[in-house]
Chain A
Amino acid sequence: MSAPSNDGLRLTIRSWVCYSGAVALIITAVAARDPIPLFGALVLLFAPIGSLVTAPAAAGPVQVFWAESGSAGIVNIAGSIEVPNTLDSRDLEVVLPCPAELVERSPLAISFGPGSVRFRAEWEARSPALLNLPVPRVLWRDALGLAERPIDVEGTELVIERYAPEVDRLGGMRLQRTIAMPGETRSKAIGEAGEFYGVRPARPGDPWRRTNWHASARSGSRYVNEFSLERTGDVLLYLDARPSSLGPKIDHELFGISRATAIGMARGFLRENVRVGLAVFGEFVRTVPLGAGRSQRARLREALLAAHVSPIAPPAERGTIGLRRAITPGITTILISPLADEAAALLIVHLRRRGYPTIVLSPSPIAAQLVGFPSRPEDRGLVERIVRVYRRQQIARAWREAPVVDWTEFWSLARFTGFLEHGMDARRHA
C-alpha cells in the first residue's frame, strides 16, 4: 500500500519566521534611515530561496520495510526505509506518531546509512489493544529546515495485536455444537484447513493455494485439495458497540479492549479448528458468518479494525434482528459488553430468547471512571464504594439471564478461561 502525497515543495514555519525577522529589520532600517540592518535582512530573505534551490528535482518514492515485536504490553517497532539514489538519506525525516492507545517509552530513534534510514520506536500498551498503524510519513527537509516536501512511501500497514495471554488456552473449552449429533464424537466436516481428506475438481473461486498440481497435471484439469475439519464446536463473538452513560472516552477505551480481546479469542479458537463468527452491534448488527482457517482470521481482523463505538444507541431488540440469517442459533455466544446501563442487560435477554446461549465477559469501567476523580482519599474512597456497589448490582441483574464474568484485570483472562473450562452446563448444575 502506498501513502500518496500530492503536496509539493513548501516552506515551513521556520521560513516564515525568517521572513518576519527580515521585514522587522527592513522597517527598522527605513525608519532609522540606517542601511546596516538591511544586510542582515538580506540574508534572512535569501535563506529560504537557498533551501528551495537545494531541493531534489525527483522525490521518491521510497520503500518502507517494518515489523513489530514484543510481548504483553511492550510494542517495539523497527523498520528501514530504502532511499533511491536521487535522494540523500540524511535529508529525510520519518514521522511516526505514537497512537493514542499506546504510551511512548522512548522517542523515535533514527539512524542514517548510505541509501537507507532505520527507525526504531518503543511504545507500551497499558491495556489490550488492536490497532492499525499507517505507513510512516517521510518528508524531505533541507538542512536548515526551511523547506520540505512529502515523499511518496510504498509499504504495508502494520497491525498491532496485544491481548491477554490466556487466549491460547481457549481451545480446551466446551462449546455448544450446531449439529444434531449428541455425544462426545467430534464433528467432521470438509473445509479449507485441517487433515488432508481428498481432491475434487476445482470450482470458480477456489484459491490457487489449494490446487493439487500433481492431480491437475495427471487429469488435465484443475483439482483442489480438501481437508477434513475436526471441530469442537462453533462460537460467536458478540461485541456491544453501543454508546453508554459512561461517556465517549470510556466507551472508546473499553471498546478498544473488547476489540483486542475478541481478535485474541478468535485466534485461540481458530487454532483449534473451531468455527468462529463475529457480530458487532453498533447502530445495526454487522456480522461475519461462521468460518475457520487463516482467511477467516483475516476477515475477523478486518471487521474488528473497522468497528467503532456507534454514535447512536439503538434499542436492544435490534441486536438480534437479522442475526439468525448469518449465524445459526444454538452456538456458544460470548458477549463482550461493559454492561454499563440497564439497557445493556436487555441485550442478553434478547440473545437468549433467539436461541443463543450466552456467556458475558464484561470489562469493568471502574478504573476508567475513577481516573481524575477527587484527590481527597476519603472522597475518593466513598465514590469508589458507590461505583462498586452500582457495578455489582448491574452484574447481579445480568446474572439472572446469563453467566457473567466481571473483568477487572485486563491483562488476564484467567477467570474467564477457568469458567469456560468447566463448561456452562457444569457451572449451571453447580
Chain B
Amino acid sequence: MKSSPAPGSILRQRSGRWGLAATATVTLAFGLLDRTEGPFVGMAVGVGAIVAALLIRILVARMGTVLFLAPLLAAWAYLGLAAPVTVLAELLSVLAALAALAWMAERPHAPPAILRRAGDVLVLPAVGAMIALVSGLLIPPGELRIGVAALLLVIALGLVVLTLGRSHPASEPPSSTL
C-alpha cells in the first residue's frame, strides 16, 4: 500500500519533476526553430515561459496546477508563429501540448503511477494530432485550408461543449417506478 507524501514534499510535488523536464525539453527545442528573431530569442522565450509556469505552480496554492498553462500557451503561440511551417515544428507543437498535459497530471496528493495512467488519457489526443499531422503532410498547405480547418475545429469545440454540458445519460439514477 502506497501512502500519499508528507507535507514537506508538497513543494516538490507542485513543481512536478518529470512533466517539467518533458515540457522544458520540448519547449526549448521549439525555441531553436525561431527564424524571426533567432534561436536565442526563441529559447529565451521558452525559458521564460517555463520559469513563469513553474513559479505559478509553486506559488499559487489551489489553481496553480491549471493556471501554469497560460505562459506556456503564450510561448507556444509566439514560437508557432516564429517557426517555419515544417513537419518538425508541427510535431513539436503537438509534443509540447502533450508534455504540458502530462505536467498538469503531476499535482500534489496525486495517487501513485499518475504519469503512466495519464498516458492512457493522452492516447486519444496524441492519435488525433498524429492523424492531423499525417493529413498535413499529404495535403499541400494553403491559406484557405487553414481557415476551413480552424472553422471545423471551432464547430467541433462547440459540439463538444454542447454535448458535455448536459448530464451524462449513463449516470442518471434509475427510475423509482416501473
Q: Is the CB of A9 within 8 A of B171?
A: yes
A15 CA to B169 CA, complexed, in Å: 20
Q: Is the CB of B160 within 8 A of A49?
A: yes
A residues in contact with B136, CB < 8 Å = 35
Q: Is the CB of B150 within 8 A of A29?
A: yes
Q: Mark A137-151, 1 if CB is under 8 A from B, else 0.
A: 000001111100100
Q: Name the one of B90, B111, B154, B172 contacting A35, with C-beta atoms under 8 angstroms.
A: B90
Q: Is the CB of B4 within 8 A of A50?
A: no
A residues in contact with B113, CB < 8 Å = 90
A residues in contact with B178, CB < 8 Å = none
18 pairs from A and B in contact (CB 8 Å cutoff): A7-B167, A10-B164, A13-B66, A23-B154, A24-B77, A29-B146, A32-B81, A35-B141, A36-B83, A40-B94, A42-B94, A42-B97, A42-B132, A46-B124, A46-B129, A50-B121, A90-B113, A144-B122
Q: Name the one of A24, A43, A49 contacting B97, with C-beta atoms under 8 angstroms.
A: A43
Q: Is the CB of B153 within 8 A of A41?
A: yes
A428 CA to B14 CA, complexed, in Å: 66
Which of B121, B132, B141, B156 neighbours the largest number of chain A CB atoms within 10 Å of its CB? B121
B residues in contact with A238, CB < 8 Å = none
A107-123, CB < 8 A from B: 107, 109-113, 118
Say whether A14 faces chain B, with CB atoms less than 8 Å apart: yes
User: Shortest distance in angstroms between A91's beta carbon and chain B's nearest beta carbon?
Assistant: 7
B77-99, CB < 8 A from A: 77, 80-81, 83, 85, 89-91, 93-94, 96-98
Say whether B73 faces chain A, with CB atoms less than 8 Å apart: yes
A78 CA to B3 CA, complexed, in Å: 14
Q: Name the one of B77, B109, B121 contacting A47, with C-beta atoms under 8 angstroms.
A: B121
Say whether A209 faces chain B, with CB atoms less than 8 Å apart: no
B112-161, CB < 8 A from A: 112-114, 117-118, 120-126, 128-129, 132-133, 136, 141, 143, 146-147, 149-150, 153-154, 156-157, 160-161
Q: Interface with B: A53-61, A183-191, A214-222, A352-360, which one?
A: A53-61
A33 CA to B161 CA, complexed, in Å: 25
Q: Is the CB of A144 within 8 A of B157?
A: no
In the complex, which range does the number of interface residues on chain B fall in? 35 or more
Say whether B162 faces chain A, with CB atoms less than 8 Å apart: no
A206 CA to B97 CA, complexed, in Å: 69
B residues in contact with A90, CB < 8 Å = 111-113, 117
User: Shortest distance in angstroms between A93's beta carbon and chain B's nearest beta carbon?
Assistant: 9
Which A residue sits closest to B170, measured CB to CB?
A: A57
Given contacts A4-B173, A35-B146, A107-B7, A42 and B153 within 8 Å (CB-CB): yes
A109 CA to B1 CA, complexed, in Å: 13
A83-105, CB < 8 A from B: 90-91
Given contacts A9-B168, A109-B4, A112-B2, A28 and B77 within 8 Å (CB-CB): yes
